[in-house]
Amino acid sequence: MLLKSLSLENIRSYNSLELEFQKGKTLLSGDIGSGKTTILLAIEFALFGLIRGTLSGSALLRHGKQTGKVELEFEIENKNIKISRILKKTATGISQDAGFIEIDGLRTDSTAVELKSKILEIIGYPEELLTKSKNLLFRYTVYTPQEEMKQILFETKEERLEKIRKLFDIDKYKRIKENASNYSKELRSEIRANSELESELLNLKEKEKEFAEQKIQKNKQHEELELKIKEAQKKEKQQEEKLEIIKEEEKKLQELKRKQALLDLETKNNEKNIKNKEQELEEIKEDKLDIHETKKTRSLEEVKKENEDLIVKLDEMTTKRISILEKSAIYKNKKEQAQELINKIGELKECPTCKQEVTEEHKKEVEREEKNKIKEADEKEEVAKQILLKIESNIKIIKYKQTQLIKEQEEIREQILKQKLLEQKKKQEEEKQKRKETLKKYIQELTIKVKTQKEEQENIQKQIQESLLDEEITRSLNESLKNARLETKSLEIKRAELNESIKNLNNNLDKCKEEILVKNDKLEKIRNKKVLENWLSNHFINLTDTIEKHVLSSIFNEFNTHFQEWFNNLIEDESINANIDETFTPIIIQNGYETEVENLSGGEKTSVALAYRLALNQVINDYISTIKTKGILILDEPTDGFSTHQLDKIRDVLEDVKAEQIIIVSHEPKMESFVENIIRIRKNEHNSEVQY
């Protein structure tokens, strides 16, 4: 069997999916919860449909969807098979709808049970699987879910051996022996009872006569009781009719009282509203407006513009002042340098550079030149002082103008604010006038409404007073009805008890008649059963037990060999060995001591489970010749807890597995190097998607 393609629609985390499978080793890669296991469950559902306790419709159909579909295409013995199954949400749950199977292009519509029967025939699984809740052969030869892979290791010996018996159909021998032994016991019991049959027949006939007489009496009592019940039911109905009239009158009265209370509440609310609105009307006062002509002046924008111009001029003056001060500093520096040179030359006797004598004539010449420089600097410095005085005067004038402009701006803003306040007061006065008119109109309307409501209240009160309802009569009728119902119920209980008694009598009569017939028949056949009991006890059971042991021993030897080979391939640690005992329980020997599987590390437990799984797969495929799923193997997270070294061993294991198509589900990145094909699965906003 080789898988070719899978199509999903509204299955778990998939809106839709079109997936193709190739020969060889294929890895379904993705994060935990991305949707890898859904593909494996969909394959199993396509083949076997829903499985009670294992694969339910609610676990497959996408939340919020009404229908879902799975289509699987595969090849068996050069035949192309396509199967389609549909899930449908109904008022009672999620069930399978009719689907179809297509063999080499020939399509046949079928029910879910018919599809399963046909698939079991195609893949060569025993027909009795159709009525079982679990497809054990598929789960232990093709696909074992991750959570079930280790489960068989931790079951009790009895549970594990029972499962092995079912897988290889060996449990039939146990059933045969149990059935034969039980039948033999029954035969011996019947044989022992041979001497007592005649007396038992006489007792049964006496009982039959007694039951018949009791039945006649009970039937007479039943007829009398039926008449009493009819009379009680008639009385109960009469009381109910009288009480129904009273109840209708009560409903009308309650409705009038409810309406009266509602009107009273509305009237009070309206009167309160009238009072509030009248008070509000009195509180609205008219304000006299103090209107003055605002002084006309320049606009705020004009004053701001003039101020901005003054700021520009002030900046210019400040810049010029700084420039003049810098020049004055330069002139002062030049004078100091000239005076310093005069002082130095006067004390100098020889030139420090050429070492020649400095004459008095040369000193005077230098002094004359430097004094001219000082004079020139004094003149320029004086001019700069005059300019600086003029600039500072202009700066003072500009700052004064700025102060005046700021005052003018404040005055303009104050005038604008007064104008806005005046306009706001005018608007408030207009709104007060409108509010007064509205309040007057509202008060007038409420006054009319209150008058109407009071008139209606008076009318309702009159109707209440005219009501003919009497509470004492109502209580009396209720008590009479209660008593009538109790009487009817009591009689019905007696009738039920009498019916049960009659039913038991009929059952006893039927049993008596059946036992009489059976015992008569036993008297005729008991001698033949002695011969049959002897053959079953002394020959048949022993022969069946011998056959069972021989078959189980053959399977055990092959299974133990394969298990040890796979375990040794996965764990190259001489300190740990493993084999299988006669109950197919893994026995672990570590450092010469036997230990439990529970004491192993996570990776070692997974190695034991995987070796057990592969050995079971190989033995089943060898032993059951009819199955046609030998070419495919699906491994669901087979490396849980593996170390890096153990992961490397998986490559060798996959090479040794005899299967044309191996599908591996794993989130281990290293597994990608062990396979020819990779299908990556990711989940985006609760929807799984596939990437090749």
What count of Cα atoms within 13 Å lies in the side-chain half-sphere of residue 68? 29
What's residue 130's pLDDT?
Answer: 47
d(CA 526, CA 532): 10
Q: 352 with 403, same domain?
A: yes
Residue 230 counted as domain residue: yes
Integer Cα distance of 333 and 492 in angstroms: 135
What is the end-to-end Cα distance of the chain in Å, rounded?
Answer: 23
Regions of the chain with pLDDT less than 70: 127-135, 146, 193-195, 198, 285-297, 351-355, 358, 466-471
- Residue 214 has φ and ψ, to the nearest 5°, of -65, -35
Answer yes or no: do 459 and 484 share one domain.
no
Residue 216 belongs to what H/E stretch?
helix 197-283
pLDDT digits (tens, 9 = 90+) for 657-677: 888 999 999 888 888 888 999
- Report the length, in residues, of the chain: 692
Same domain, 449 and 480: no
For residue 441, tell me if it sits in a domain: yes
Q: Which of 446, 463, 480 is the last residue of a domain?
A: 463
Residue 324: domain span: 300-463
Q: What is the pLDDT of residue 127?
A: 65
Burial zone of 194 (CB within 10 Å; 0-12 exposed, 13-18 middle, 19+ buried): middle
Final residue before a domain boundary, out of 416, 435, 463: 463
User: Within a domain: residue 356?
Assistant: yes
Is 398 inside a domain boundary?
yes
Per-residue confidence (pLDDT) for residue 294, from 0 to 100: 52
Residue 111's pLDDT is: 92
Q: So what's the pLDDT on residue 133?
A: 46
474 and 394 both lie in a single domain = no
Whether residues 314 and 387 fall in one domain = yes
Does one domain contain both 429 and 520?
no
Residue 83 to residue 140: CA distance in whole angstroms: 22
- Point out the domain boundary residue: 525, 540, 561: 525
In a domain, 304, yes or no: yes
Is 0.95 surpassed by the pTM of this model? no
* CB neighbourhood size of 125 (10 A): 24
The answer to whether residue 661 sits within a structural domain is no
Domains contained in the chain, number: 2
What type of residue sits at position 263?
A: L
Task: Find out whether 340 and 348 touch, Cβ atoms under 8 Å.
Answer: no
434, part of any domain: yes
Per-residue pLDDT tens for 508-523? 888 888 888 887 877 7
The residues, ordered by sequence, that sit 6+ positions from 628 with a Cβ below 8 Å of its Cβ are 1, 76, 77, 122, 123, 124
Residue 348, domain member (yes or no): yes
Residue 3 has φ and ψ, to the nearest 5°, of: -75, 140
Helix, strand, coil fractions of the chain, as percent rounded to 5: 70, 15, 15
> In the prediction, which pLDDT does 193 show?
67
Residues 255 and 307 in one domain: no
Q: What is the dihedral of CA 150, 152, 157, 158, to 10 degrees?
A: 150
Burial (Cβ within 10 Å: 0-12, 13-18, ≥19) of residue 141: buried
pLDDT value at position 267? 84
Q: In what order do the strands lie in the sheet with 67-76?
A: 14-20, 2-11, 67-76, 79-90, 93-103, 106-110
Please give the structure tokens belonging to residue 327: 């020049």
What does the pLDDT look like over 33-60, one tens digit per residue? 889 989 999 999 999 888 877 788 888 9
- Collect all residues with Cβ–Cβ distance below 8 Å to 216 and sequence separation of at least 6: none
Do 500 and 455 have their domain in common? no
Q: What's the pLDDT at 287?
A: 54
The answer to whether residues 490 and 517 belong to one domain is yes
Same structural domain, 321 and 445: yes
Query: Do 450 and 475 have their domain in common?
Result: no
φ and ψ of 2, to 5 deg: -130, 130
Q: Give the model's pLDDT for residue 469.
A: 58
Question: Distance between CA atoms of 407 and 412, rounded to whole angstroms?
Answer: 9
- Are residues 436 and 338 located together in one domain of the fold? yes
